[in-house]
Amino acid sequence: MGKPKNYGWSSNADMMINRRHQDNKQKKIAYWRNKYKFDICKDDYDQFINKIPIIKKVYLHLEKYLAYDKAGTIPGDDLEFYALNYDKIKLVENNREYLSQLKRIELTKSETPIIVTF
């Protein structure tokens, strides 16, 4: 048999701690992908976790908040919506650079849940 591989852990306990942290990250990413429908990967984890309090408040209508233009005029139909959600629009304005980079995940037929009733 060959020499066992050393991945930089000083002990088995360090390996288990590192594995636990990586599993926790993967589970959080999977949860956020399912709940908020954004395409998140391991590289985006640190930025996303810092912005999650804002994303929780604005994810339902994020595209509409991003479309808001301070200098432009607002159509009469949307005026009430923008008036009721002014605080959320301000959150998006302050974090527009990151929030505009988020991409939505579109559900396909194979990903939609199957509901069986008896």
Record the pTM: 0.70
Question: Is residue 7 situated within a structural domain?
Answer: no
Per-residue pLDDT of the chain (118 residues; tens, 9 = 90+): 556 666 677 888 888 898 899 999 999 999 999 999 898 888 889 999 999 999 999 999 888 888 887 767 777 777 888 888 889 988 998 888 998 898 988 766 556 666 666 6
Question: Is residue 50 situated within a structural domain?
Answer: yes
Question: Is residue 117 situated within a structural domain?
Answer: no
What residue numbers bound the domain in which 56 lies?
Answer: 12-99
Question: Is residue 107 situated within a structural domain?
Answer: no
Spatial distance between the Cα atoms of 53 and 8, rounded to a whole number of angstroms: 35
Question: Is residue 5 situated within a structural domain?
Answer: no
The count of structural domains within the chain is 1
Question: Is residue 18 situated within a structural domain?
Answer: yes
Question: Is residue 34 situated within a structural domain?
Answer: yes
Residue (of 60, 50, 62) closest to 100 by Cα position: 62
Question: Is residue 68 situated within a structural domain?
Answer: yes
